[in-house]
Amino acid sequence: QQKVQQSPESLIVPEGAMTSLNCTFSDSASQYFAWYRQHSGKAPKALMSIFSNGEKEEGRFTIHLNKASLHFSLHIRDSQPSDSALYLCAVSDNAGAKLTFGGGTRLTVRP
């Protein structure tokens, strides 16, 4: 059974900082990797996803994936107070089917 863990559990950074969130998974045959963001009291919303090893950048957000290390990460450049939210990583099983979510990292960006 896929195990997905996130670190740190919570993080406080000043506005303008670079933020790095980490996610580890247990199945090296996993096929799909995604980050979701959930603002307080709202529904989770997909942020970015990646299928293959490497890096993907969209605006201030970058995903790194290293399947051999069973690790992927989300980096937020020039963090803004509006980025304050619960960040959830999600990894598919080796059939590329259902997602397993991590326990989340609560990010607070101080103005």
Partner 1 sequence: GGIITQTPKFLIGQEGQKLTLKCQQNFNHDTMYWYRQDSGKGLRLIYYSITENDLQKGDLSEGYDASREKKSSFSLTVTSAQKNEMAVFLCASSIALGGYEQYFGPGTRLTVL
Contacting positions for partner 1 (CB under 8 A): 1, 4, 6, 31-32, 34, 42-46, 49, 51, 86, 88, 92, 96-104, 106
CB of 56 to partner 1, least distance (A): 13
CB of 97 to partner 1, least distance (A): 5
* Rg of the chain taking only CA atoms, in angstroms: 13
> Which amino acid belongs to residue 14?
P
**Residue carrying the six token digits 């979510």:** 101
Of 18 and 46, CB closest to partner 1 = 46
Would you call the peptide bond into 44 cis, given omega within 30 degrees of 0 as the criterion? no
Cβ proximity to partner 1: between 38 and 62 the closer is 38
Assess contact for 75 and 62: CB atoms under 8 A: yes
